[in-house]
Amino acid sequence: MKNMRFILFGAIALTLSVTSCIEHEVIPAPVPTVDKYCHFEGLINGISTEFTENVSGYYCSGTKAKYILPAPAFSSAVYYSEMLSPTYPVSIRIGLGSLQWDAALSAEPSLSTFNDFHMNNTTPAYSNSAANGFEVAYKDGSGLLWTSKQTSPNFQDVTLSAIKQGSDATGDYSRYVCTFNCYVYRQDPVTLAWDSIRIQNAELKGFFKR
């Protein structure tokens, strides 16, 4: 009988020892991610052109230019979104500006200010350097830069839609679908003559980054 008790107690002790050594799996909380898929298609100089993310190295780059002024003047920021490739010189970029904020209070515009700016600029006017509106910049196969003009005599329009904002570990973003028609221009550095390229039925899906 004593032997039976010894065996029983030993089995219980062994079970408790093994159970205490089991490590419970810790499932991390889900990490938010922003869909940064990008794509461009349209007619450039009458030629159907398409850039797809991860095809021929194309990707979207969200950048900005800040113009900091001393208080009490407001500083401004212009946001750019470009589809480009490290392999090919041809690229398309749009710019949207300018967001006004008090740089004396914060180095960057607040997230709510950033979000409101993009939500409220769905049909901006064309503006040189995107200083007060929208600009298109195109690099051709020779790497030459062509840009839209605020005072273009030719038809131009733009609409930003499907605006969705989100944040993840890499930053704060404003996703969009941008449709536009315009001419982009380049001045010959020798003759000083202006030449133009027509962009038609263009659609760029990308993002701006705060």
What gap in Å lies between CA 175 and CA 164, rounded to an integer?
A: 5
Which DSSP helix (H) or strand (E) runs through 115?
helix 111-119
- DSSP track, 43-112: EETTEEEEEETTSTT-EEEEEEEEE---TTSPEEEEEEEEEE-SS-S-EEEEEEEEEEE-TTT-SS--HH
Q: Identify the band that residue 71 occupies on the pLDDT scale cut at 50, 70 and 90.
A: confident
Whether the pLDDT of residue 11 is over 50: the answer is no
In this structure, what are the phi and psi dihedrals at residue 17, rounded to the nearest 5 degrees?
-65, -45
Question: What is the reported pLDDT for 23?
Answer: 58
With beta carbons less than 8 A apart as the criterion, state whether 124 and 89 touch. no
Question: What is the reported pLDDT for 24?
Answer: 57
Q: Identify the band that residue 33 occupies on the pLDDT scale cut at 50, 70 and 90.
A: confident
What gap in Å lies between CA 51 and CA 36, rounded to an integer?
A: 15
pLDDT in tens, 131-186: 999 999 999 999 999 999 999 999 999 999 999 999 999 999 999 999 999 999 99
Question: What is the reported pLDDT for 28?
Answer: 62
Mean pLDDT of the chain: 90
Q: Identify the band that residue 32 occupies on the pLDDT scale cut at 50, 70 and 90.
A: confident
Q: Identify the band that residue 78 occupies on the pLDDT scale cut at 50, 70 and 90.
A: very high
Question: What is the reported pLDDT for 99?
Answer: 98
The answer to pTM > 0.85 is no
Q: Identify the band that residue 10 occupies on the pLDDT scale cut at 50, 70 and 90.
A: very low
Q: Identify the band that residue 5 occupies on the pLDDT scale cut at 50, 70 and 90.
A: very low
Question: What is the reported pLDDT for 120?
Answer: 96
Q: ω before 98 within 30° of 0 (cis)?
A: yes
Looking at the chain, the whole-number percentage of residues with pLDDT higher than 90 is: 83
End-to-end distance of the chain based on CA atoms, in angstroms? 77
Q: Identify the band that residue 25 occupies on the pLDDT scale cut at 50, 70 and 90.
A: low
* Amino acid found at 110: S
Q: Identify the band that residue 26 occupies on the pLDDT scale cut at 50, 70 and 90.
A: low
CA distances from 7 to 3, 4, 41 (A): 6, 5, 77
